[in-house]
Amino acid sequence: MSAQATGPARGRKLITGVIGADTHIVGSRILSMALEEAGFEIVALGAITPAEDFVKAAIETAADGIMVSSLYGQGELDCRGFRDLFIEAGLEDMLIYVGGNLVVGKQDWTDVERRFLEMGFDRAFPPNTRADQVIEVLNADFAVRSAGRRIAE
Amino acid sequence: MRGGGDMALLIDFGSTYTKLRAVDLDAGALAAAGQGPSTVTTDVTIGLEAAMADLDRHMGGLPDFQYRLASSSAAGGLRMVTVGLVKELTAEAARRAALGAGARLVGSFSYRLTEGDTVAIVDLAPDVLLLSGGTDGGNSEVILYNAARLAESPLACPVIAAGNRNAADDIHAIFGQAGKPILIAGNVMPAFQELDIDPARAAIRQVFIDRIVHAKGIDRAAEMFDAVLMPTPAAVMAGAKLLSEGTQDRPGLGPLAVVDIGGATTDVHSIAGGDPTGEGVVQYGLPEPYEKRTVEGDLGMRHNARCIVETQGADRIAAAAGVTAGAVEDWLLRIEGDVEILPERPEDVAIDAAMARAAVRIAMRRHAGSVRIAHTAAGPVTVQEGKDLTAVAALVGTGGALVHAAAPAGVLAAALGDRSDRTSLRPMNPALFVDEHYLLYAAGLLAEVAPAAAFALAMNGIRAAGGKDERRGTG
Ligand code: B12
């Protein structure tokens, strides 16, 4: 059986979407389906989603987390200031992940990850991350969040 | 007493006139019209009696009307304020619901209401307030916060809550404890990017019938009619919908748009899905209502005449009318001296027509959607915002300024799209019609009780407006 949402993670509302002018919808869709099956509630924004739309959707739906995808290599440009938009909107504690194919070409992952964490993402995921792995991390993060910490070790 | 078949009386309590239309139900045609002053602010019966006397003169005796139905835009119309959460989402959905219900929107607010907002709302003194915010199961904090601010404010008007259903019980309690009228309706945005404005529209109409008709003093004349069914703009929209969809037995005109040029505003209605017609076009933004109404509060032929001229440019108006800029200014001053003035001198007629064309052009440009090119890594993508009206089958003009214009077809044609500007999705090649006797509202009211007769009335009432070559006015 595939991974399931456990404990405080169960029923959490997550927004998925592909940021910027990126049309690579498949990964975000597969991730959305897997997360929904695992017991999360999903609001899928689909491809070509402006950064502000993640914020607007999060406000209206009172979402618990954001799953940003970027595949086409312009992730670094599109994601700049993403966290700030949430801070502006009073959602500074929002759990925000990013994944896909974040940068152009093959680059050292630890370096890429550091750059995205510096931009304010709580977690960044390398190419070919499986949905099961994401669910495990979500379970761990929501568990520590209900204890007042930001993300799990 | 006039014999013959069954008759219906359709009343419009307007802001300037009380208008009557007597309709022969068997023929589905206008039998006679009557008019009196609008006296809603003093005693509505005086104006209605004057209008009935006028109708009596035209008919040579009044029949026993089978139906006597009314709409009203008197005493400022149905003045509404909307409150939502995110400006482009639930706040926009609430605005669309209010406009679709025929309201006159006097204020729109989003996010948490500040003290200043609450004071402004109380000062606006709306007839009804529509409160939205949050998808179902989504944000409830802000709508509850706003409900509490409104409940504790001196605002006395009925509030319709059409937001997150999980907050509905608490909202009900908040207003209930404050002893204030509250109505709960379905969420205008039940899920993200899902628009559902019909329940809110129905609730607005209910409040209008149950309370506003009384509050505006229209029920003083209650013995002279059966019911005031809806605000007049809602009746016009109902007429437009009927014309578009037809009845069980008779096909309608198909997707259409209506332009209604008034003294204070220019309204545009569209009855059309508005989905992209272009290949590979991506729709962006909140889904569009199939029945959509927009109101341009800055484009009124009398109360905002100067605004039309300034928006379009005085030079262009003068050039289009073939007069000097001085003549335009002169006409504006005379309008401002008497908002009921009618143009008589040829140059004033020409300026009025140029202003009407400008109002129609700008109003349709704002109502219709647009496309823009988004440059992506894979090349350009066409993104559509709003409704694509390029393929609507018909365009109907109504309202005094259009109907009484020397060349109504030319005025109406100003709403059409322009092949040199592919970004604006205005109607491209519809059949043009003029609602000559102002029957759309009457058909909309009558549709409630006698749809077949109402459809015949609407179809008989519109006149095809000119051939294709006459269409394109200048300016
Ligand atoms: C199919 C495809 C296309 C299709 C997309 C069809 C569509 N509408 O989806 C088309 C042909 C349109 C296309 C176009 C382009 N593509 Co392309 N495309 C691919 C391809 C072959 C597969 C992508 C895919 O669907 N993968 C399958 C899914 C399931 O995997 P995934 O997206 O990675 O998602 C998984 C995980 O990453 C993870 N995940 C995804 N998002 C997130 C988010 C979070 C928060 C988390 C935790 C996890 C997570 O979960 C998913 C499930 O396991 C990849 C190469 C590859 N093998 O990856 C190139 C690739 C992504 N494309 C690429 C490029 C360059 C382009 C174009 C720019 C090409 C061009 N010049 O025209 C355009 C860009 C178009 C645009 N504006 O977006 C490059 C990107 C290079 C880079 N990042 O440096 C790639 C990597 C190919 C390459 N090696 O060069 N592409």
HSE-CB at B377 with a 13 A cutoff on CA atoms is 16
- Does the structure show a pLDDT above 50 at A143? yes
Mean pLDDT of B424-443: 94
Fold category of A9-146 in CATH: Rossmann fold (3.40.50)
pLDDT digits (tens, 9 = 90+) for B447-471: 999 999 999 999 999 999 864 334 4
- Does the structure show a pLDDT above 70 at A1? no
Look at chain B and report how many structural domains it folds into. Answer: 2
- Examine the fold and report which residue of B157, B187, B211 is the final residue of a domain before the chain moves on: B211
B316 plus B432 within the same structural domain = yes
Euclidean distance between CA atoms B150 and B154, whole angstroms: 8
- Examine the fold and report which residue of B211, B233, B263 is the final residue of a domain before the chain moves on: B211
The sheet that has B431-435: what strands, in order across it? B291-296, B266-271, B256-261, B394-398, B431-435, B462-464
pLDDT digits (tens, 9 = 90+) for B183-192: 999 999 999 8
Euclidean distance between CA atoms B29 and B462, whole angstroms: 11
Alpha helices by DSSP H, listed for B60-197, are 90-100, 115-124, 141-152, 168-177
B270 plus B169 within the same structural domain = no
B424 plus B304 within the same structural domain = yes
B392 plus B266 within the same structural domain = yes
Examine the residue annotation and report whether A24 is marked as an active-site residue of this protein: yes
Whether B94 maps to a domain, the answer reads: yes
**Total residues belonging to chain A:** 153
Confidence band for B473, pLDDT divided at 50, 70 and 90: very low
Confidence band for B381, pLDDT divided at 50, 70 and 90: confident
pLDDT digits (tens, 9 = 90+) for B196-225: 999 999 999 999 998 888 888 888 888 889
Mean pLDDT of B22-46: 92
What is the pLDDT at residue B4? 54
Between these two residues, B172 and B471, which has the higher pLDDT value?
B172
What is the pLDDT at residue A11? 95
Domain, as residue range, for B365: 253-437
What is the pLDDT at residue A88? 80
pLDDT digits (tens, 9 = 90+) for B251-266: 999 999 999 998 889 9
Whether B412 maps to a domain, the answer reads: yes
Taking the CA of residue B379 and the nearest CA in chain A, the distance in Å comes to 10
| Cβ–Cβ < 8 Å for B372, B424 | no
Angle at B341 between CA B336 and CA B344, to 5 degrees: 120
Q: What is the ipTM of this complex?
A: 0.78
B304 plus B170 within the same structural domain = no
pLDDT digits (tens, 9 = 90+) for A43-97: 999 999 999 999 999 999 999 999 999 999 889 989 999 998 998 888 989 999 9
B324 plus B377 within the same structural domain = yes
Establish if B380 touches chain A: CB-CB under 8 angstroms.
no
Whether B20 maps to a domain, the answer reads: no
Choose, from A22, A64, A78, A122, the residue flagged as catalytic.
Answer: A22
pLDDT digits (tens, 9 = 90+) for B44-97: 999 999 999 999 999 999 999 999 999 998 878 899 999 999 998 999 999 999
Token pair belonging to B291: 């029945």
pLDDT digits (tens, 9 = 90+) for B94-132: 999 999 999 999 999 999 999 999 999 999 999 999 999
Euclidean distance between CA atoms A68 and A98, whole angstroms: 5
Give the best-scoring range by mean pLDDT among B174-183, B338-347, B402-411.
B174-183
- Does the structure show a pLDDT above 50 at B2? no
Beta-bridged to residue B70, according to DSSP, are B11, B228
Query: Which atom of ligand 1 lies closest to the CA of A105?
Result: 84
| Cβ–Cβ < 8 Å for A42, A35 | yes
Percent of chain B with pLDDT over 90: 76
What is the pLDDT at residue B470? 42
Establish if B63 touches chain A: CB-CB under 8 angstroms.
no
Q: List CB contacts of B233: < 8 A, sequence separation 6 or more.
A: B73, B77, B102, B103, B260, B267, B293, B295
B192 plus B258 within the same structural domain = no
B403 plus B334 within the same structural domain = yes
What is the pLDDT at residue B286? 87
CB contact under 8 A, B135 and A74: no
CB contact under 8 A, A48 and B90: no
CA B103, B49, B263, B267 torsion: positive or negative?
A: positive
What is the pLDDT at residue B216? 83
User: What's B132's domain CATH number?
Assistant: 3.40.50.2300
Nearest CA in chain B to A60: B134
B205 plus B259 within the same structural domain = no
Query: Which atom of ligand 1 lies closest to the CA of A133?
Result: 47
B201 plus B260 within the same structural domain = no
Euclidean distance between CA atoms B61 and B4, whole angstroms: 12
Tell how strand B67-72 and strand B7-13 pair up.
parallel
Percent of chain B with pLDDT over 70: 96
- Does the structure show a pLDDT above 50 at B319? yes
- CA nearest neighbour of B269 among B435, B410, B106, B126: B435
Euclidean distance between CA atoms A131 and B388, whole angstroms: 39
